[in-house]
Amino acid sequence: MKQQRIFYLDFIRGLSTLLILFYHFSVSLLSLNIDVPIPLLNSHANGTFGHMGVSLFFIISGAALMYTYDNHLDVITFYKKRFLSLFPMFWIGYLLCCIWFQVIHRLPFAPLPKWRFIFTLFGMDGYLASVTPTFYQIGEWFLGCIILLYIIFPLLRFLMKKYPKQLPFIIFPLFIVYVVCYPFSNMILDRDFIVRIPDLLFGMYFITYIKRVNISTGIISFIILMIFLLIPIPMLEIFKIDIIGVSTFLLLVYVAQFLKNNYIIYCFRTISKYSYAIFLVHHIVMVQFLNYFSNQILSIGKFMIVFIETVFLILIFTLFLYKLNNLIVNRFPAYLKNHK
């Protein structure tokens, strides 16, 4: 029996995608020294809006996975579906990047041992790029992080089902100790998949035991969010990221119940549908296009045109990658195709 679609899952996934997209647009303008006539809202008092978008994405991933696999999970089928939902599109995107950089522009790969390409094969090259040299071109650190979280999801689900009350009191003290005594100097803390387990677990617990947000929780979440967005708080960054992520998630779940307009629902469900393809292509398309305007001062009119053109290009490449991926995956045997 097909499960009913929950709108707030699409709503928050869509918003997190837009937050990450706009954040990278702002960062790309700064990195390319493009002067624009309006303030770039890429950061707030306690971090960046990119952090917020990523945290929401991890939380919503936990919620969506638990919603789908609450009653039954066949581990082999789960891993097969996750594999087909991530890797073919990533490999196709990587191949297209090779055609663009190595074939058309004749840019050589980094002079690395060929065995390191195994990191790319398993989608871990962006995740490990800060730790060791890789052949990274597309996918960023987030892809490797979500792959590792998917790998441990069946274990987390088992522990949550068996020890629903005890698990948070084990995980969160261990999380705090791990963060305070962080042992890895090369890996950026907020990119470590271990410190993202609480985000995933919160989404899993919410969809299973909480499900709804009342007005008092919505108001409290709004107040907490405003405090953290506007007032610098002396706290480790990862703790602030988690608090902002959870309070934003709860607020958006509350807001989502009032969004009844069919056009709004359609828009966010569409963004949610293409979110992974958007994630793969947006940053590289953005940088390649904006590079033509590096070191320029843009008027308000030209800035708006550049922004619209950037979004249009991302849309074109997103649709192309998504359609090409479906065309290829649909060639697989029937027992592999039902992967969504």
> Each residue of 97-137: pLDDT tens digit?
999 999 999 999 889 999 999 999 999 999 999 899 999 99
> Each residue of 258-292: pLDDT tens digit?
999 999 999 999 999 999 999 999 999 999 999 99
The answer to whether position 1 is within a domain reads no
Three-class secondary structure assignment of the chain = CCCCCCHHHHHHHHHHHHHHHHHHHHHHHHHCCCECCCCCCCEECCEEHHHHHHHHHHHHHHHHHHHHCCCCCCHHHHHHHHHHHHHHHHHHHHHHHHHHHHHHCCCCCCCCCHHHHHHHHCCCHHHHCCCCCCCCCCCHHHHHHHHHHHHHHHHHHHHHHHCCCHHHHHHHHHHHHHHHCCCCCCCCHHHCHHHHHHHHHHHHHHHHHHCCCCHHHHHHHHHHHHHHHHCCCCCCHHHHHHHHHHHHHHHHHHHHCCCCCHHHHHHHHHHHHCHHHHHHHHHHHHHHHHHHHCCCECCHHHHHHHHHHHHHHHHHHHHHHHHHHHHHHCCCCHHHHCCC
For the chain, which ranges sit under pLDDT 50?
A: 339-340
73-87 burial code (b ≥16 CB/10 A, e <16)? beeeebeebbebebe
Q: What is the pLDDT of residue 340?
A: 46
Give me the number of domains the chain comprises: 1
The answer to whether position 2 is within a domain reads no
Q: What is the pLDDT of residue 82?
A: 95
Q: What is the pLDDT of residue 330?
A: 82
CA distance 57 to 184: 24
Q: What is the pLDDT of residue 334?
A: 57
Q: Rounded mean pLDDT of the chain?
A: 93
The boundaries of the domain holding residue 68 are: 7-337
